[in-house]
Amino acid sequence: MKILRGVSRQMCTSRPEVRVRFAPSPTGFLHLGGLRTALYNFLFSRQRRGVFILRLEDTDQKRLVPGAAEHIEDMLEWAGIPPDESSRRGGDYGPYVQSERLHLYTEAASSLLNTGHAYYCFCSNQRLELLKKEAQRSGHAPRYDNRCRRLQPQQVEQKLAAGVPAVVRFKLHMGTEEFQDLVFGWTGHAVGAVEGDPVILKGDGYPTYHLASVVDDHHMRISHVLRGCEWLISSAKHLQLYRALRWTPPTYAHLPLLLNRDGSKLSKRQGDIFLQSFRDRGVLPETLLDLVTHAGSGFSDNRMGRRLDELIRDFNISKITTHSALLDLDKLEEFSRLHLQRRIEDPQQCVWLCEELKQMVKHTHSSEISAAAVLEPEYIERVLQLRKGHISSLQDLLSSTHSYLWVRPRVSQTQLQSESAHAKDIATAVMQMVLAGGSLVSMERLNSELKQISSRTNSTHSSVMKVLRLLLSAQQVNTHTHTHTHTHTHTQQRDEGAETTAERSTAGAQCGGDDAVSG
């Protein structure tokens, strides 16, 4: 590989506008760690009326995952934090995919070669592997010995003319590179003292991360780089590259890691951390945004329940600490219940939820649906209003526990008799009460009449409630693990949610023999 010399160096212009970027590698799909990095960039840009850019760093061609690039932007859009500039949306500073910007990296490498800040390296993979093994045997960290830095110009020209494979390495200086990070404060690393000169341009013409990120951040006029703290030490190399290219570096803010609750790293092998898996399970995007920000810092208080507009308003980059953020997925249901309830209580959002749930019910139960009335918006909205605070997703209402809301339950005479010897009398009395209509005026009236039925049928109130529950839901065992008092309240709320079911059950509970009975 030979690079033409004499390419002019592009000088940096001023950057009055806030421009940030999320720059994932499409070697996998977007997970919660990437979502948090993207979100913090989005919040920072929105607070300052800036621009949020999606740049895909696909220079590691061997590890690319088909469809990952499109999926990343799909998930950002689903999460409600779409980029302002991207390959899909366009912009003035594209292309937004690194493999389409190779000429810029070649120009930068040529500039560094011309000024003596970089050099060709001809060391074979075999030699580099021997250096690595020797360092490991002696208990040292592997590092390149900078051998090719000492080659004479004539030797370099001869090897290039002979077609010897080469890469371009950047000359690290030995001093400490200090800079002020918005999260970690003043920090510095003497990378040249502990590392060998890094490769910045590979033999296939593709750049490594170090060169590509610097070149792209410069040409895209990135003002602030918010990225994971795993790149904190590498920033010293990047600042040296900026200085060598005579460009002004952006301001850095390195975000602490997002870890599992036990302190282990999030891994792509964890199938449950990918956004698509949450979406498939019916988790709302605002739930995930709230969850990942609640796990860490960046806000004056750590309350839960923030929506995106509140996250934008309350975000404060000076409040981000250097401590790792611990993600507790056990709290997901709690967050989900809260945010779903807020959607249900919003009139417009509730309309959309009703339509979505209607389609889900039709798909799940299809021909089993007992009456067209259960697909009416008024009925579905009533179900949502009565179950809010108890369900964490619309899919919960499709479970067997809630099937009675959509499909007429069927129970046998044996099941009814197992609950009470007076089951038939109880069922008849309940239907008469429902047909009369007055009991549905209020919960107080309903409870009063149910107690009267208990008295007339010589049954305990508990027996009446068990029979009623079985008739309306075909369920005998309470699957909730709350206290008795809370369970009773929960059952009452469920029975209230089943009032409309009772209204369409006028033909139910006419028990004879051991045949199945519709509730």
3-state secondary structure of 513: coil
Contact 198, 148 (CB under 8 A): no
- 500-516 exposure pattern, b = at least 16 Cβ within 10 A, e = fewer: bbbebbeebbebeeeee
Please tell me the distance from the alpha carbon of residue 69 to that of residue 29, in angstroms, as a whole number.
8
3-state helix, strand, coil in the chain (%, to 5): 50, 10, 35
Catalytic residue among 133, 265, 268, 362: 268
3-state secondary structure of 330: helix
Contact 515, 506 (CB under 8 A): no
Please tell me the distance from the alpha carbon of residue 261 to that of residue 100, in angstroms, as a whole number.
39
Backbone angles phi, psi at 489, to 5 degrees: -65, -45
The residue assigned the tokens 């309830």 is 341
Q: Do the strands 51-54 and 177-181 form a parallel or antiparallel pair, or are they unpaired?
A: unpaired
Contact 356, 394 (CB under 8 A): yes
Q: Is 159 a catalytic residue?
A: no
Please tell me the distance from the alpha carbon of residue 491 to that of residue 18, in angstroms, as a whole number.
54
Please tell me the distance from the alpha carbon of residue 50 to that of residue 42, in angstroms, as a whole number.
9
Please tell me the distance from the alpha carbon of residue 190 to that of residue 430, in angstroms, as a whole number.
82
Contact 17, 49 (CB under 8 A): no
Task: Retrieve residue 421's tokens.
Answer: 């010897």
Please tell me the distance from the alpha carbon of residue 244 to that of residue 169, in angstroms, as a whole number.
13
- Give the DSSP H or E segment for 412: strand 410-412
Neighbouring-strand partners of residue 179: 187
Contact 65, 28 (CB under 8 A): yes
Please tell me the distance from the alpha carbon of residue 105 to that of residue 212, in angstroms, as a whole number.
6
Strand segments (E) across 174-323: 177-181, 185-189, 199-201, 224-228, 251-255, 258-260
Please tell me the distance from the alpha carbon of residue 190 to that of residue 491, in angstroms, as a whole number.
66
Please tell me the distance from the alpha carbon of residue 323 to that of residue 255, in angstroms, as a whole number.
9
Residues belonging to the active site = 268
